[in-house]
A and B are shown apart, each in its own frame.
Chain A
Amino acid sequence: MGNLTRRAFLKGSTLCLTALGGLKLGLHANPARAAWSGERFLVYVYLRGGIDGLNLVCPIAGPDRAPYEQRRPNIHLRTTGTTAALPLGSTNFGLNFAATGLHELYGQGKLAIVHGTGFPIGQITRSHFDAQDYMEHGTPGSSSIGSGWLARHLGGSGQVPDGAVIPAFSAGSSAPASLLGRRDTMVLDDPNSYHPNANNGNVDGVPRYKLSTMMTMRYLYQGSGDLDLAGTGAIETVELVDTLNIANYTPSPGANYPSTGVAATLGSQAKLIANIAKRGLGLQVATLDYGGWDTHENQGDGSQGDLNQNQYANRVAGLSQTLHAFYTDLAGAGMAGRMVVVVHSEFGRRVRENANKGTDHGSANPMLVLGGRVRGGQLYGTFGGLQDGQLFQNEDVMTTTDFRQVLAEVATGHLGSTELGTVFPGYAYPGPLGLLPGDPIFASSFE
């Protein structure tokens, strides 16, 4: 016993790359997915804290510009100078001056923006906890269902293809509520520490007893019972991260992920998702969180172009750079058409800035939808207006689009879901906004 080299161990393990098709994180045996939907995947980016969407996408002209400036005397985005909002085509709206990456993607027709999304009017909440909970469970106003909307989507018939190694991936410290109920979600933020004996010191940069532990675990879980299979599956995820050399990854040329500042973690996590997506491991859904949007005070003067002095714009810049890098990375690998990124937050903020030059909890917000198949370069939905009588409770941007309509369109039009009744129970889907081209099935002669 005992005298095994690393090479011999890996050779003897099931984790040869050629055998990855037989490896699963879980124990599901899913039917093969419909061929038409291919290997598309969704990245669900959640901006925790409630982003001030009105200063991400603001009116730069038209009837809403004057009330926007009036209600935000300090923090409103300018229309001239170095901090001028970036015009969105010929519309009356512009992007935050720090969102240059997003602006470029919008101009390329890859980024769509849906105005005025949120909860149905009767179910609006301004509580972070409640709003995130309802939103990620996909059940506004109801707490009776314990699973997340993404988990229910993945549980639908044929949604996870046979042989998928990592169908669900959460880049971060824990899986979000949207994936609650999906036990084979891989949660990973640091490939170097994803190991059951990672704290015992390193030798030559490798945990001292990494291989010894894995060898022992292999032997301990070598039976054929469910527990043995589960343990082996867990061991294989560790070996997978190691064998694929996930810690070492070179993005496509031009993909410049932030590596410093407030978005350094976001950048590394987005890069991790791109890394996983490119491996052909059956990725269907990935999640990414970016917090720090609860800007009650000193959000950032609209004329302040120094990002170190403008916390909101600084964060927007990080988000923008990350999404631009992610798109560039995937596009460079010919995968732009396979990805859709949805950017979401639990609520928007009040239209009026507060006495601390910040904004308090509001309701409606824009959602961003990015991808090679996305009909971008357009604004979708309806902006409720900022004039007297147009605000919700005289405070917030009015909700005009149920957030589930956007998610449902992505679920059906990109991921091929046919079970919206399960994904969003009780929701009467009014049909797509047109963010995505028609389903190829229906574009065929079957129409």
Chain B
Amino acid sequence: MVLLHDGGPGSFRDLGNFGNKTKKPFEAVVSALRAVNVDFTVRRNDSASDGFMDRFRRSGHRPFDWRAPDGFPDHTSYWMGGGAYVHAWRTVDWVLDQNLGADQTPLAPVLSLTLGEFSAAPADHTPNNLTNFWLARAFDWAPNGTTGWRGTELHYQVASFMCRNTDTVTYFGPDVGIGNGPAGNTAGIGTDSGPNYWHSRLRGMVDCALFSPQFMVR
């Protein structure tokens, strides 16, 4: 499908075409940056910028890499190859996991946005709550004004990631507050030590939301 124009039936603005336009790698990465409130400018001779571009260019969508005047292909099918997707996702993942500067400030404020949304009480930090918040934030929309994304397959699967421990079989309750006790559940969402590595897992959960098919379409 080609959706080059923005007016009339069959166009990008035609609601009947919602979801039919696939994000190119650049669009997927930029929209992910927006979703996690990343303020990042690519600069010359900057190690973080080099790290970003090193991953991003592998997606096949490095800016200005295609001959003018046509630009990169607009056909949806062109961008549906494994390399474009995996490398776009790797770029997003890199952004979410980077800590920069002497004080190791996270490039993507995933944790601070999360803590800013919920009370400090660990009882609120359940996988289901966290997932609901991040899905609503990523899409700037939720299918239900009251329950948000709860009850959807997307919510279920992303929350399942948050419940699943590393690559083992341990499973955390979807409505159990992270770090809310009793003994064995005292490490909060901001901690990143074994066995749960909650901060890393939170970032990984946001990854999953941003890698979802719902996020890869426009």
Contacts and interface: CB of A to CB of B under 8 A. Distances in A.
Is this pair of chains taken from one and the same complex? yes
Interface of A: 1-6, 25-27, 133, 137, 143, 145-146, 173-175, 180-181, 183-187, 193-201, 203, 206, 208-213, 215-217, 219-221, 223, 226-231, 233-234, 236-238
A212 B204 contact: yes
B208 to A, nearest CB: 5
15 contacts: A25-B81, A27-B77, A175-B83, A183-B77, A187-B83, A196-B207, A206-B167, A211-B167, A216-B161, A216-B208, A227-B216, A231-B85, A233-B80, A234-B83, A234-B89
Contact of A237 (B78, B83, B165, B212): B83
B44 interface: no
B54 interface: yes
B141 interface: no
B54 A213 contact: no
A217 B208 contact: yes
Contacts of B89: 196, 234
A234 B171 contact: no
B60 A174 contact: yes
A2 B171 contact: yes
A383 to B, nearest CB: 34
Contacts of B94: 199
B212 A220 contact: yes
B158 A173 contact: no
What is the predominant secondary structure among interface residues of chain B facing chain A? helix
Contact of A226 (B54, B77, B93): B77
A95 to B, nearest CB: 35
Contacts of A180: 66
B57 A220 contact: no
A197 B124 CA distance: 26
B213 to A, nearest CB: 5
A-B pairs with lowest CB-CB distance, top 8: A230-B80, A196-B89, A234-B85, A237-B82, A183-B81, A199-B97, A211-B167, A234-B82
B160 A2 contact: yes
B5 interface: no
Contacts of B93: 196-200
Given A173-B58, A194-B90, A217-B211, 9 more contacts: A26-B80, A175-B60, A200-B204, A208-B200, A209-B201, A216-B161, A234-B81, A237-B82, A237-B86
A151 B154 CA distance: 36
Contacts of A184: 81-83
B24 to A, nearest CB: 11
Given A173-B57, A198-B90, A212-B204, A236 B82 contact: yes
Nearest to A200: B200
**Most chain B beta carbons < 10 A, residue from A198, A208, A212:** A212
Contacts of B79: 183
A4 B157 CA distance: 13
Contacts of A143: 67-68
B213 A227 contact: yes
A196 B211 contact: yes
Contact of A213 (B84, B85, B98, B204): B204
A175 B83 CA distance: 10
A200 B203 contact: yes
**Most chain A beta carbons < 10 A, residue from B62, B73, B96, B164:** B164
A130 to B, nearest CB: 12
A396 B123 CA distance: 76
B163 A227 contact: no
Given A3-B169, A173-B57, A199-B93, A26 B160 contact: no
Contacts of A211: 166-167
A174 B55 CA distance: 9
**Most chain B beta carbons < 10 A, residue from A173, A196, A217:** A196
B22 interface: yes
A208 B197 CA distance: 9
Contact of B90 (A196, A201, A215, A219): A196
A227 B212 contact: no
